[in-house]
Every structure is written in structure tokens, then in C-alpha cells.
Structure 1
Amino acid sequence: MSAWRRDIDEIRKLLLEIEAGRESYCALPRAAAEAMMLPVEDCLPDAEARKLAYHLSLLDSAGLARFSRLSNGNWHVRGLTWSGHELLDNIRDGDIWNAVRERHQQLGGFSMEILSDLAKELVRAKARSLESSDA
């Protein structure tokens, strides 16, 4: 049985990979590839493949990234959307991301809208502190 939980670290990792130029993902489970007599060297174990496919689907349905899904389990990356770039720009910095993750854990989770708003607030606070230190 799979847990269908959104993993914010996985979301961030995928956004960073796509921005860096990742062109495709293979989300065909190893067992499915074996059953179809396909090469399995690029395939993930079943649970990892399901998690990857689920999070790619979340990115797509949230309008953060665009993909073309192929019948062989491959996801061709068409790129980040404007919203994907905006979110990533706010969660890229490791210190800001760690602060967001800490709050996420303290509260037991929250929506992506709140995550994005919190990240924006932290980026703004960091920008203000840089401005005051430059003065």
C-alpha cells in the first residue's frame, strides 16, 4: 500500500532539477518493466517510482511545471511555469527553505499557498535586513 502524501522536500528537489535542465524522468516501476521485458537499469523500485510519478503529477496539476507523459512511464519535461519559477525563487535559499520546513513540521503541515506566502515573507525580511546593513 502506498502513502499518498505530498513531500515538500521532493517538490523542491524536482523544481530545482527541472530548472537545472532535467529533460525527463522515468517513473516506470521496475516490476512493470520486468513484466514487459524492458530494460530495468533506469527504472526505480516500485515505491520510489510511484512516489516520483505522484509528485510529478502534483507539479503538473498545481501548474508549477509542464510535462508530456509517454506510455512507457517516461515523463518528458516541458519546463517550469511562471508560478513554478516564482515558488522556486522564494524557496531556493537553503536558510529560507530550512525555516519553512521547520514551521511546516511544527504545524504538522500546511497548504502550498501558506508555504509560498511564508517563503515570500522570509525573503522580504531577508531583503530588508540586507538593505539596512547596506545603509
Structure 2
Amino acid sequence: MERNMDLVRELLFIIEKNNDKKELPIPKDWDREVVAYHLKILEQAGFVENYTKWAGNEPLWILASLTWDGHEFLDSIRNNTIWNKTKEGIKGKGLEIASVPLEVIKEYAKLQIKALLGLN
């Protein structure tokens, strides 16, 4: 399964807003298996603690919380302008954002924030 960085970003927003209280309010039109996969890889990256419970071959209950690194990553891509500039900048270099490591995406987004703040 290919990583979907727009889905990753939306999941991080949902997790942050959910505040560790209950099952994540996943939109009904989202594929729960794709969501569960992305939570698994976000956990592997150290950005979330994933508490997904499976019943048979389907994710029955999906709950996750952000780690410190997850908050830091979300903060680097939170702003829509920064996120769009990050995606456009990476695409402008001939790369797909799904094929760029998360740490590189985070650093590139931080460069966009620094440029916006005049810190270059």
C-alpha cells in the first residue's frame, strides 16, 4: 500500500482534535483498512501511539494518540500555505511526496516556515 501524505496530515488533525478520548471519528467514506495501515506506519515512525483493534480482517475500533514527535510533525505541516508550498516544492524537484521520507518533509516544511518568518 502506498503512503498518502494528505491522509497522514488529516489523520494527525483528527487525532489531535479527538484528545485521546474515544474512537477516532473517521469519515464514513474513508477506507478503514487504509486508515489502520497509515496509523500503523505513523506508529512505526514514532508519531502516534496506535490502539487499533481488529476483528477478523477488519479494523473494528480505531484509536490513537499523538506523541511529542507527532505534535512536532503536525506543527510543521499544520498551516495550509506551508503544506501546499511543501508539496509543490517537492513536486517541483521531480519527486512525489509519498516517496520522500517524513523527516525530509518535516525539514522542508520548517524551511517554508522560516522563509515566511524571514529567518533565512
Instruction: Give the match for residue 39 of structure 2.
Output: 56
CA distance in 1, matches of 2:8, 2:45: 11
Larger Rg: 1
Question: What displacement does 1:103 show?
Answer: 2.4
TM-score if structure 2 supplies the norm length? 0.78
Superposition RMSD in Å: 2.4
1:82-108 CA-partner distances (Å, limit 9, x unpaired):
111001111001100001111233332
CA distance in 2, matches of 1:49, 1:117: 29
Name stretches of at least 5 consecutive residues in structure 2 with no aligned partner: none
Instruction: Give the match for residue 119 of structure 1.
Output: 109
- What letter is aligned with 2:83? W
Confirm or deny: 8 A CA contact 2:36 2:52 kept in the other structure.
no
TM-score if structure 1 supplies the norm length? 0.70
Question: What displacement does 1:16 show?
Answer: 0.7
Post-superposition, which runs of at least 4 consecutive aligned residues in structure 1 deviate over 4 A? 42-45
- What letter is aligned with 2:36? A
Question: What displacement does 1:44 show?
Answer: 6.3
Name stretches of at least 5 consecutive residues in structure 1 with no aligned partner: 28-41, 130-135
Instruction: Give the match for residue 100 of structure 1.
Output: 86
CA distance in 1, matches of 2:2, 2:108: 21
Aligned residues: 109
